[in-house]
Amino acid sequence: MQLTFTRPDDWHLHVRDGAGLQSVISATARCFGRAIIMPNLKPPVVTIADALAYRERIIAALPADSAFQPLMTLYLTDNTRIADIEQLSQTPEVVAVKYYPAGATTNSDAGVTDLRNVWGVLEAMQDAGIPLLIHGEVTASSVDVFDREYMFIRHILDPLLEAFPTLKVVLEHITTSEAVDFVRAGEDRLAATITAHHLLMNRNALFTGGIRPHHYCLPVLKREIHRETLVDAAISGSPRFFLGTDSAPHPRQAKESACGCAGMYSAPIAIELYAEIFEQMNALDKLEAFASFYGPDFYGLPRNSEQITLQKTDWTLPESFNFGEDQVIPLRAGKTIHWQLESAS
């Protein structure tokens, strides 16, 4: 069986920097036309100059014949200036601003400590039509880790949308039924990305046969009922849900340490895993819109004109990939993959 459809885009991606960037960027460029690049480097990407310089490093790391386009973002901090937003609105290479609550995930210590500190910036974004991309979790230690997304929606996102009635918002890598219901009930200016790993796995995957550090991500995997709801949303045909892998490579030793970092590296098999999910649900006819149409439509960008072809065939994913001078363990390492990219043109 073959499946040919419009080249997809990845609306949430981490590619790191330096030698690590050079090792992983081709895994995304092989099949995706564009990707929203996350700004949580060390130091973070906080200015237009930072973003454009990072973009040049990404382009320099691409294969010579690649047409892949990185879409850049700014990291929202307590010190982000309205002038940065005004400059962003005149810079087409930078398409959005990313909001990390301080301490919510990897390299998020520079994130926003209190939304009141960026009220003027959000007003400027609303006026300019610039999307706010949100890691939607509270960070209070009193909140159960499995409830962090729900509490964020209830106590922060809902009031934020009310305060800024035309601000475009993407709630990224959603994990719960509450998030799906909230997006469905919202206005067209609100959308969400869904990862392959949250569609494929529930929280049991963290503990099967012992602690599984390579299945640890933030937001963490949730109960099976939430996974099923995410799948229903992805295959629903609603343009408010679209593909965002949140592929996040880390060196093996950083994952397998006493305090392992969060993130799953799915880029080498991302589109193949989405095809597996949609096939399981007899919804392969819905994959193209989810992967290739709804994202650019929300961002006001043209759909890709090229196509990719996936072949239904079993093959074995390597146990690891080079990551600079280290190794990165991919999702499904050493396992059988049931779809394979055959061509992209």
- Which residue ranges make up the annotated binding site for Zn(2+)? 12, 14, 98, 135, 173, 246
Q: Identify the active-site residue in 10, 246, 285, 314.
A: 246
Residues 57, 92, 164, CA angle at the centre, nearest 5°? Answer: 115
* Nearest-angstrom CA–CA distance, 182 and 202: 20
Residue among 284, 330, 332, 280 nearest 310 (CA): 284
The binding site comprises 12, 14-16, 40, 98, 135, 173, 218, 246, 250, 262
The SS3 of residue 35 is strand
Pairing, β 94-99 against β 132-134 = parallel
Q: Is 246 considered catalytic here?
A: yes
CB 126 within 8 A of CB 167: yes
Residue among 121, 140, 37 nearest 77 (CA): 121
- Alpha helix (H) ranges present in the chain? 18-29, 48-61, 82-88, 119-128, 148-152, 158-163, 177-185, 196-200, 224-234, 252-255, 270-280, 287-288, 294-299
* Nearest-angstrom CA–CA distance, 226 and 284: 21
Residue 253 buriedness (CB in 10 A; 0-12 / 13-18 / 19+): exposed
The binding site for substrate comprises 14-16, 40, 135, 218, 250, 262
So which residues are the catalytic ones? 246
